[in-house]
């Protein structure tokens, strides 16, 4: 973990402490002169972001910064970002941050040269066929170890009024290169580390049990689970470069693995972000034990392998759910929805949204409206 590496999967990744210092030279080598840095308002005020910006500007490049985005990104955020790109006459986009900033950055990449209504490009209605134009040069710089959006090809953006989530997808939206520097995650607060880490664990676990045949994703997911089991508690409470590096790798791996699909946990979590503006990682963390409990029967062999990856020993898949509850407690995260303001009267509305969500069709078991109600009630 003291070395720097380059590997390609699915896009070129520069990984290791200090690789962010290569960004300016990379931009110059590709004749890119006016990058739009897309990040959130909190990161924009942090010292490491200011240093990145200064280092790039000292090489003679002009940096424009866009930060106007919501905690759960909206269509209007993307449209404003597209205007900022054109107004500043930018020639590339650098997404710096966690899942929100990277989703907004990727959606802006799409927006720059694609002029239909943004949600005409929704992948769930076949909108990817309209992604026909060139897109700006796109670079991603993750600062959390959660979504793995830096290696993704899609962005989840919500409607402004209904908060319904839409998926913008195209292979064209893959970053040209990722600068994955664990040093940028070293100062994350404990809560953000824990919540984003549980998001990464959810990605790996749901991908592994998702229906369908994809042995490469299965192997990646199990290794991601193993890396998280070795490092998440340390990264949360006593962070060091090894734990931060393992978490960043596991996050990248989870995003690669979930091209196989996600499942019931994400469908439980998404409505919480829509209705309560809940942090996505926290929503996943609370629901993960309940969703995995729902999936256990009939898939014991998969749970046995996940138990081994989690360090629980052989043939101990029946211990996975209790381990997840204990992990949340050790990380200082809640295990009940009531802790984030959910009440009995919210369950019907949450369940309708969950049933309409796009993730659970890949769950290993079918999930009906009544199942969502039971799961929310169990988690309340």
Which residue, among 47, 50, 93, has the nearest Cα to 187 in the 3D structure?
Answer: 47
Sign of CA dihedral 182, 185, 190, 191: negative
Please calculate the CA angle 296-258-195 and round it to the nearest 5 degrees. Answer: 80
* One domain, residues 151 and 212: no
* One domain, residues 337 and 202: yes
Final residue in a domain of this structure, among 166, 184, 202: 184
Please report the pLDDT score of residue 193 as a whole number: 95
Q: Is the pLDDT of residue 1 over 80?
A: no
Q: How many residues does the chain have?
A: 380
- 214 CB neighbour count, 10 Å cutoff: 16
Least trusted range by pLDDT, from 137-151, 158-172, 343-357: 158-172
* One domain, residues 68 and 174: yes
Q: Which helix (H) or strand (E) holds 264?
A: helix 264-276
d(CA 112, CA 115): 8
List phi, psi (to 5°) of 65.
Answer: -115, 130
Give residue-wise pLDDT tens across range 91-130. 999 999 998 999 999 999 999 999 999 999 999 899 999 9
Give residue-wise pLDDT tens across range 320-377. 999 999 999 999 999 999 999 999 999 999 999 999 999 999 999 999 999 999 999 9
Give residue-wise pLDDT tens across range 34-92. 999 999 999 999 999 999 999 999 999 999 999 999 988 999 999 999 999 999 999 99
Give the chain's domain count: 2
Partners of residue 37 on adjacent β-strands: 65, 94
* One domain, residues 208 and 119: no
- Output the pTM of the full model: 0.93
User: CATH code at 286?
Assistant: 1.20.1090.10
* One domain, residues 291 and 367: yes
Tokens of 35: 């990058």
Residue with tokens 């866009």: 66
Final residue in a domain of this structure, among 159, 184, 209: 184
List C-alpha distances in Å: 313 to 55, 141, 177, 250, 301.
47, 36, 38, 20, 13
* One domain, residues 206 and 170: no
* One domain, residues 272 and 372: yes
Pair 278, 225: CB distance under 8 Å:
no
* One domain, residues 58 and 174: yes
Please compute the mean of the pLDDT values over residues 11-36 and round it to a whole number.
97
Please report the pLDDT score of residue 78 as a whole number: 97
d(CA 250, CA 190): 18
* One domain, residues 255 and 142: no
| Residue span of the structural domain in which 243 resides | 188-379
* One domain, residues 152 and 195: no
List C-alpha distances in Å: 338 to 218, 324, 341, 347, 378.
34, 18, 5, 11, 11
d(CA 31, CA 33): 6
Reported confidence tier of residue 163, pLDDT bands at 50, 70, 90: confident
Pair 112, 135: CB distance under 8 Å:
yes
d(CA 211, CA 299): 11
Where residue 60 falls (left for φ over 0; alpha for ψ -120 to 50; beta otherwise) is: left
Q: Is the pLDDT of residue 2 over 80?
A: no
Q: Is the pLDDT of residue 282 over 80?
A: yes
Please calculate the CA angle 279-143-174 and round it to the nearest 5 degrees. Answer: 95
d(CA 304, CA 301): 5
* One domain, residues 93 and 240: no
């Amino acid at each position: 973990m003291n070395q720097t590496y380059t590997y390609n999967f699915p896009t070129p990744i520069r990984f290791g402490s200090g690789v962010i210092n290569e960004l300016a030279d990379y931009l110059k080598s590709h004749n890119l002169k006016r990058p739009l840095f897309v990040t959130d308002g909190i990161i924009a005020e942090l010292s490491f972001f200011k240093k990145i910006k200064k280092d790039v500007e000292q090489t003679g490049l002009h940096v424009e910064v866009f930060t106007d985005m919501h905690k759960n990104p909206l269509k209007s955020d993307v449209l404003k970002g597209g205007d900022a790109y054109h107004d500043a006459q930018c020639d590339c986009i650098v997404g710096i941050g966690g899942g929100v900033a990277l989703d907004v950055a990727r959606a802006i990449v799409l927006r720059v040269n694609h002029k239909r209504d943004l949600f005409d490009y929704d992948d769930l209605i076949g909108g990817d066929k309209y992604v026909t134009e060139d897109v700006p040069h796109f670079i991603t710089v993750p600062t959390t170890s959660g979504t793995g959006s830096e290696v993704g090809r899609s962005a989840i953006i919500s409607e402004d009024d209904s908060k319904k989530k839409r998926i913008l997808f195209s292979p064209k939206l893959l970053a040209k290169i990722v600068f994955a520097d664990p040093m940028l995650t070293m100062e994350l607060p404990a809560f953000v580390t824990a919540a984003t880490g549980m998001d990464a664990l959810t990605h790996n676990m749901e991908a592994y049990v998702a229906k369908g045949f994809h042995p490469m994703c299965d192997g990646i997911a199990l290794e991601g689970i193993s890396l998280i089991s070795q490092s998440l508690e340390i990264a949360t409470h006593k962070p060091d470069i090894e734990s931060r590096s393992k978490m960043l790798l596991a996050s990248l791996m989870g995003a690669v693995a979930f091209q196989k699909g996600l499942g019931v946990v994400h469908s439980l979590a998404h409505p919480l972000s829509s209705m309560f503006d809940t942090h996505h990682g926290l929503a996943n963390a609370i629901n993960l034990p309940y969703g995995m409990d729902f999936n256990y029967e009939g898939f014991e062999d998969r749970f046995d392998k996940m138990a081994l990856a989690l360090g629980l020993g052989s043939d101990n898949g029946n211990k996975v759910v209790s381990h997840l509850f204990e992990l949340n407690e050790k990380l200082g995260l809640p295990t009940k929805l009531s802790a984030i303001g959910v009440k009995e009267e919210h369950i019907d509305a949450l369940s309708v949204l969950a049933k309409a969500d796009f993730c659970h069709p890949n769950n290993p078991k079918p999930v009906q409206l009544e199942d969502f109600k039971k799961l929310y009630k169990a988690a309340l």
